[in-house]
Amino acid sequence: MIADGKAFVRLAQLRGRIAALARGGRYDVTIDLLGELVRADLALGLPADGLLRARQAAELAEARGESAAGPLVVLAATLLSAEAIEEALDACATAIERATATERPRIEAMARLVGGAAQRRAGRLAEARVLLDAARGAAARLGEAAIAGLALAELGWIDLAEGRPAAAATCFEFAAEFLRRAKHVAAPEADTLAVASWAAAGDVEIATERGPRAADAARAAHRLDLVAFLDGVLADLALRQAPEAAQQACALAAESAQALGASPLARELAAQARLRQVRTTGDAVDRARHLEAGIELALALEGSRAGARLGSFLITLVEDAERGAHAPARTELERLAGAITSLGDTELADMARAVLAELG
């Protein structure tokens, strides 16, 4: 859901319908609409409201003597979105305990998916893998393609965390297939993550072959943010392994970022793109133009993001100097160090000064 005026009107309408139905004793419909309201709240960045509605749905089902297992899984997912990891795990366990014999297989699959995601976010990767493997297998047997796809995507994130990008790419590709089968909106994201993982694994052939197809799917889904991210991934890959194609790839990434308009994500991708373009040329004027634009865009980001972006780029330029590929001028490094210092982060400023001192 897009966070615009229409979305908030829809939210108000949902709340009004829920109140009217509850007053009229239509609790069966009320519970379903509360679940829809939870999803709307989360999509609009209102996790506290979503958590309240999820609790209401579970309590209402329990008060009516109905199975609260489904609402409890929704509550667990909402708690996870609110970063209440342990509470989410407790809600998953309770959902399984309270499930009826008829609904238990599906409730177990969903609860293990949410529980595995919670364990992954807590850094307990072995525990997460066990739960997610169980969720994937159960969902496949039940024909629940969306649950299987989401479990595979979570397994892909675990593979990335464990430094196995090729394995992650395979998980994301299978996830995308399941999600497409379920007509789930996350399918283009899984495609995008698969390409990014192949690039991280250094497989230029697969990443460049599948990148355009993933971009086409993202464009068809009106996800220009994914298109811009993919173009950036392929540009970084070209800089690392196909320098002859880097200038064109980086220019395309810059165009894609500009097409996003004005948003925090657009600014970050645009900053990355302009800084990336510095590395594609040895012409001092072009390098200075891209560097100034990149620094200006980066400084408009939130402080920690600006520091991360500029600090990592300073290190990247130093690495370029060591490799001799379009080595940066001293003035470029000093300009970057000055921008980093202006952020007021003492640790980052010390790092920038140390880098300059080491270079002499």
Q: Using CA atoms, how far apart are residues 219 and 199, in angstroms rounded to an integer?
A: 20
Query: To 10 degrees, the CA torsion angle through 84, 90, 92, 94?
Result: -150
Q: What is the pTM of this model?
A: 0.77
Q: For the stretch 167-176, what's the b/e string if a residue is b when 16 or more beta carbons lie within 10 angstroms of its beta carbon?
A: bbbbbbbbbb
Burial class (CB in 10 A: 0-12, 13-18, 19+), 222: exposed
Tens digit of each residue's pLDDT, the chain (360 residues)? 334 444 433 434 444 443 443 344 433 433 343 344 444 444 544 445 544 555 555 555 555 555 567 777 777 777 777 787 888 898 889 889 888 899 899 889 988 998 999 999 999 999 999 999 999 999 999 999 999 999 999 999 999 999 999 999 999 999 999 999 999 889 999 999 999 999 999 999 999 999 999 999 999 999 999 999 999 999 999 998 888 889 999 999 999 998 887 778 888 999 999 999 999 988 999 999 999 999 999 999 998 899 999 999 998 888 887 776 677 888 999 999 999 999 998 988 888 888 888 776
Q: Using CA atoms, how far apart are residues 32 and 111, in angstroms rounded to an integer?
A: 18
- The total of other beta-carbon atoms located within 10 Å of residue 302's CB is 11
Q: So where are the chain's domains?
A: 223-360
- The total of other beta-carbon atoms located within 10 Å of residue 220's CB is 9
Q: Using CA atoms, how far apart are residues 347 and 349, in angstroms rounded to an integer?
A: 5
